Structure 1
Amino acid sequence: MKTTIINLTLIIFGLTAGFAQTDTLSIENVNIIPVYENILLRNQRVVVGNGKILRIEDVSKASEYPMAKQIDGSGKYLIPGLHEMHYHWRNKEGGIERDFKLLLANGVTTVRNMAEYDWQDHIAIRDSIDKNQLMGPNYYTSGPYLQSGDLKTSADIERIIAQHYNKGYDFIKIADNLPKDIYLKVLERAADYNIPVMGHAQREMDLEYSLRMKSIEHVEEFVYLFGDEQRRDSLFLKNAVEQIKNSGIVIVPTLVVFDMIVKCLDDNSFAKLKEKEVATYMLNGDHGYWASDDNPYRQNLKGKVINGMDALPLLEGYFEWMKNFTKMLAKKDVPMMTGSDTFGFVVPGFSLHEEFQFLQEAGLSPYEILKASALTPARYLGSIATEGTITEGKNANLVLLNKNPLEDIKNTKTIEGVLLKGEWLGRDQLDSFLKEVESLNH
């Protein structure tokens, strides 16, 4: 009898929940790019309620849901919310809200923060978002940027990893070459605490050691992992890519930030960089610093000789190699994620779309790029049950575009609106976010 009562209660509750939705909205007659495969579903209705995708159906069907709001998706394209998987909050001025406005205005609904600096508390930021006290994307964070000076002994490792666990960081970020015994101990203790380790490659060890991490940040790392001869040896590279593929590791190329570094060394390119349209969203102090010869790349690299070669052509050559290697990884279906590193002229939100274009220039298809900014990150973050594709039951984190990104990835910039946890942010709202950020400079 007790079981029967419980079951009846669940049925009654289910009916009540089903019909009591007051926030249901639909996107009508929209073309869906669901990303679970390379297809386009035309003339669909997407019904959203309680922050979830409730129904996807042909628009010719009569909807059984009462709609509080209908959005006309005719001639438009719906993609999953974008993932910025290599983000840094660099400047206290304007608060993290400033960056979130830039990210949301650019369709970014999930962020992985890659370091916690002394003046920051990213767990508090993540908790505020989760409790709806702060409007922001799904938020994941590593702990402090760990370098060899932080990890000298077994006691250091034990203390730091326990701190990561107790504070609740999602990742451990390594940003330096470590002695082999220290590195292996970090991996072992992190596994005991079930905290993934990711970051820069271990450049002084064989490739296999770096492949023990969850992800390698920056395809640039392979420039330093491999010797000059190895980078020119097609058989070596083919075998290396096979090894990377077999390991299951994920790579985050971050091409856009390396491009910025190269452009800082060339006077003509640097002049154009300073006038970039998106530079209007940089804080005045940041722009003044990065647009001057105090810029660290101008100061430390411009005109310098490295390995017997001028820095500019050397780095230009590295960049071409990086794009070619990224294409080799893509051809072998090595999982990749999109991230941009967000500093200097690499402006949060906008920079992710620049990264898309570099990936397309490197030879990735628009579908491969969307997959790297939706499906692969969701699998990596353990959120695939609720994120990463447009399917029923997933969270309603979506981006409505005016042009088809499968034809050209630059069309991800044609944003008509964003759904964040089921809340519609139309073009006017997104523009107001951008104006608020711009106003900080006046």
Structure 2
Amino acid sequence: MVRIKRLGLHVACAALALGTASGACAQRIVLDNATIVDTRTGKLTPHRAVVVEGNRIASIAAAGTVKAAPGDQRIDASGKFVVPGYNDMHAHPLNPGDTANQLQMMLAMGITGFRQMSGSPELLAARKAGTLMPKLAPTLLVTPGSLLVGPNAATPEMAVAEVHRQKAQGADFIKAISLPPAVLFAAHAAAKADGLTVTGHLLPLVNPREAAEHGMDGIEHLGPGDALLLGCSSQESALRAAIVPPRPVVAPPAEGEAPKNGAGTPPPGVPGAIGLANPLAFTPLPAILAYGKVLDSYDAGKCGALADVLAARGIWQTPTLIRVRTMEFGDDPAYVNNPELRYVIGTDRAVWQAAGERYKAVMTEPARAVLSRLFTAQLALTKLFYDHHVPMMAGDDTGGAGWVVPGYGLHQEFDLLTQAGLPPLAILQMTTLNPARYLHREASMGTVEAGKTADLLLLDGDPVASAANLHRIGAVLHDGHYYNAEDLAGLRAQVADREK
């Protein structure tokens, strides 16, 4: 069998490259003389040969000891560090829109698996039928059904019925958005009865300790806003009592519009997509300035105690610091003039630009100062969670956030986690080992070991020595296909050409 290149991609099997095989392929890929990174401990084991058959790691042996077999694809991995492929654990590439290109960009940036954070009955039906995913894509790890939000969860009874409906449709978990306590806790109970978990956003009305007690599985975006930081305030009770509940949702949003549920909703005549790109651009300034009261009353001891509760209950956090920052610094030139925007479809770029212009027009200097303080506090909260052993994963909200370029966003998340003070091994774990633990799939993913799925990266530097080396991807191995650096650049170039 000869090695065939199609569309600039090296693949492990000529039949697969030509689209004539369903996945069975006898050819092996041998990564010889690699250094394996143990994602549990950070230990480096050099001079190893990793043998891949199909999409599984068949064996690991000493370098140079694997006998050649006909059809082998042998890779000299000298100087390379082998780690599991990255998992983006908060992403929306399957939202209606530029799905194929977003998924291709994610794969080209070393993302071999993702947790979809919004779904629909149609999405679940397509997954069941096997028609959902294109070939050039990371693996869809799990997905919810429709977001649990005002239109389908205005009352506890509605929330319970929707949870049961999504269970029947095949949802893997429930994603809740800004639900008041009684509704959210009813959803928790229904999900538990159905063998599902609930993750998502918390309204500031919801005490995170109570959410933990009721079985919240995970909290996204550090709240978002001040929802978690309120739990660190010495004035928590008074500040929560002063919160005005959001206006009730009276009807489902139209296609492409933001839910009409209070603060952050675009005013009449403003396209909903712009509000979704950056809700802060439509948040009343008094609400933003009110964050200052939370920050002024920060109590480090109380915050540590909250972290201990979250850690003890195993409440997973996906900080999505890049999503948080792109909202709170919504007109940052680093985002507005980002050259990687060439990988984003023109309609999305226009929406993001409009959101940035709106932010620039309405955000006063006092509000900007508060948001800058808020982000500093969110970085510190992330480090505090790490110090208190709160379980965390890496995600970027790609497909659901303005200024977040698919694939690149997760790498920006790595940099922000570094800025927060997390060590390199912890960041590597947040995108490899921790997702395996969260999904209860440690038997098949999360480490480089024989018998596990062969979603692998070859890095050009030691990721335990520096998180900057997480960016230095020399090759990706996914679904039996080996993509070298040239191939990965070709995948990105294809997307850029399509998006012109």
| TM-score of the superposed pair, with normalisation by structure 2 | 0.76
Kept after mapping to 1: 8 A contact 2:315/2:391: yes
- Higher mean displacement: 285-294 or 166-175: 285-294
CA distance in 1, matches of 2:129, 2:357: 35
Structure 2 partner of 1:147:
149
Q: Deviations over 1:247-300 (max 9, x none)?
A: 1111101101121123225xxxx333222121111112222332246655445x
Structure 1 partner of 2:388:
332
- Higher mean displacement: 330-339 or 154-163: 154-163
- 2:330 is paired with a residue whose SS is helix
Give the deviation of 1:142 after TM superposition: 1.4
User: Pairwise mapping of residues 23-422 of structure 1 onto structure 2 (< 5 A)?
Assistant: 23-63=27-67, 68-89=72-93, 92-94=96-98, 96-116=99-119, 121=123, 123-125=125-127, 128=130, 134-139=135-140, 140-180=142-182, 182-211=183-212, 212-221=215-224, 223-227=226-230, 228-229=233-234, 232-265=298-331, 270-292=332-354, 295=357, 297-298=359-360, 301-303=362-364, 310-342=366-398, 343-422=401-480
Structure 2 unaligned blocks of 5 or more: 1-23, 236-294
Structure 1 unaligned blocks of 5 or more: 1-19, 305-309
Structure 1 partner of 2:26:
22
Give the deviation of 1:424 after TM superposition: 1.1
Give the deviation of 1:214 after TM superposition: 1.0
Give the deviation of 1:382 after TM superposition: 2.4
Q: Which amino acid aligns with 2:226?
A: V
Distance 1:294 1:53, change over 3 A: closer
Give the deviation of 1:198 after TM superposition: 0.5
CA distance in 1, matches of 2:480, 2:367: 48
| TM-score of the superposed pair, with normalisation by structure 1 | 0.86
Give the deviation of 1:321 after TM superposition: 0.5
CA distance in 1, matches of 2:128, 2:416: 30
Q: Which amino acid aligns with 1:278?
A: E
Kept after mapping to 1: 8 A contact 2:31/2:51: yes
Structure 2 partner of 1:4:
none
CA distance in 1, matches of 2:353, 2:148: 29
CA distance in 2, matches of 1:294, 1:415: 31
Give the deviation of 1:326 after TM superposition: 0.6
CA distance in 1, matches of 2:356, 2:136: 35
- 2:393 is paired with a residue whose SS is coil
CA distance in 2, matches of 1:239, 1:50: 47
Kept after mapping to 1: 8 A contact 2:203/2:227: no
- 1:55 is paired with a residue whose SS is strand
Q: Deviations over 1:210-252 (max 9, x none)?
A: 2221111112437224435465211111211111111111110
Give the deviation of 1:122 after TM superposition: 5.1
- 1:264 is paired with a residue whose SS is coil
CA distance in 2, matches of 1:123, 1:332: 40
Kept after mapping to 2: 8 A contact 1:34/1:80: no
Structure 2 partner of 1:9:
none
Structure 1 partner of 2:241:
none
Q: Deviations over 1:305-347 (max 9, x none)?
A: xxxxx22111110100111111111112211000011222111
Q: Which amino acid aligns with 1:303?
A: T
Q: Which amino acid aligns with 1:302?
A: M
1:425 to 469, 483, 486: 483
Matched-pair identity in %: 27
Structure 2 partner of 1:12:
none
Structure 1 stretches of 4+ with a deviation exceeding 6 A read: none
How large is the RMSD of aligned CA atoms in angstroms? 2.4
